């Protein structure tokens, strides 16, 4: 009886080990191929700050996994800023294109091209001109992905805007925390 049980156990382990990789009869891969919807992901971030300077920031994005190591996508940028000390309020908005390359399953290189619309001001006087202008940004950096389930993850990114426009609404380095699903 012990011999039959041992043979049965060995046989079942043998069959199950093959069924995870390929079909033992046709030698074809039986792994499920990912479809277009499987490779899509949603994500983005948000920020809140209250006090003398109030900031509300929303940055939703949608992306696509081109390969196991490469993500690309587009996003929207919105920032409400109010400074009570200078009696200044602005709605900054725009869009971005982004890419992430995963060096390891968790560590990635990141790049973005963004175009933001801001209220223009004179840099020398700090006075508003009454016009709106577009400014470009090119943040590049590194990041860490913390997987929290099958699809959900938190991304922590440290970036540097290499174009460094003097009217950019943030300063270098740029630290971001975002989510993807």
**Tokens of residue 24, six digits:** 């033992």
**Mean pLDDT, the chain cut into blocks of 10 residues (181 residues total):** 57 48 62 79 90 90 94 95 84 95 96 93 77 93 94 94 84 89 91
Please check whether residue 73 lies inside any domain of the structure: yes
Domain that holds residue 42: 35-180
Which residues does 156 contact at the CB level (< 8 Å), separation at least 6?
Answer: 143, 144, 146, 175, 176, 177
Please check whether residue 23 lies inside any domain of the structure: no
| Tally of structural domains, the chain | 1
Report the helix count and the strand count for the chain, using DSSP H and E: 2, 9
Please check whether residue 153 lies inside any domain of the structure: yes
Q: What is the pLDDT of residue 12?
A: 53
Specify the CATH number for the domain of residue 116.
Answer: 2.40.160.20
* E strand or H helix that includes residue 69: none
Q: What is the pLDDT of residue 146?
A: 95
Please check whether residue 175 lies inside any domain of the structure: yes
Report the distance separating Cα 126 and Cα 110, nearest Å: 33
Peptide bond preceding 72: is omega within 30 degrees of 0, i.e. cis?
Answer: no
């Amino acid at each position: 009886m012990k011999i039959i049980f041992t043979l049965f156990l060995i046989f079942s382990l043998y069959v199950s080990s093959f069924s995870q990789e390929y079909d033992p009869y046709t030698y074809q891969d039986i792994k499920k191929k990912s479809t277009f919807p499987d490779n899509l992901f949603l994500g983005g971030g948000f920020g809140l700050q209250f006090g003398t300077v109030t900031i509300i920031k929303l940055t939703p994005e949608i992306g696509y996994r081109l390969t196991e190591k490469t993500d690309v996508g587009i996003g929207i940028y919105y920032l409400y800023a109010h400074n009570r000390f200078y009696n200044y309020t602005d709605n900054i908005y725009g869009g971005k294109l982004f890419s992430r390359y995963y060096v390891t399953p968790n560590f990635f290189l990141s790049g973005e091209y963004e175009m933001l619309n801001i209220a223009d001001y004179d840099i020398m006087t700090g006075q508003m001109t009454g016009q709106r202008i577009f400014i470009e940004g090119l943040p590049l950096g590194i990041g860490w992905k913390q997987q929290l389930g099958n699809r959900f993850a938190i991304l922590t990114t440290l970036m540097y805007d290499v174009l460094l426009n003097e009217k950019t609404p943030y300063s270098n380095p740029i630290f971001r925390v975002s989510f993807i699903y």
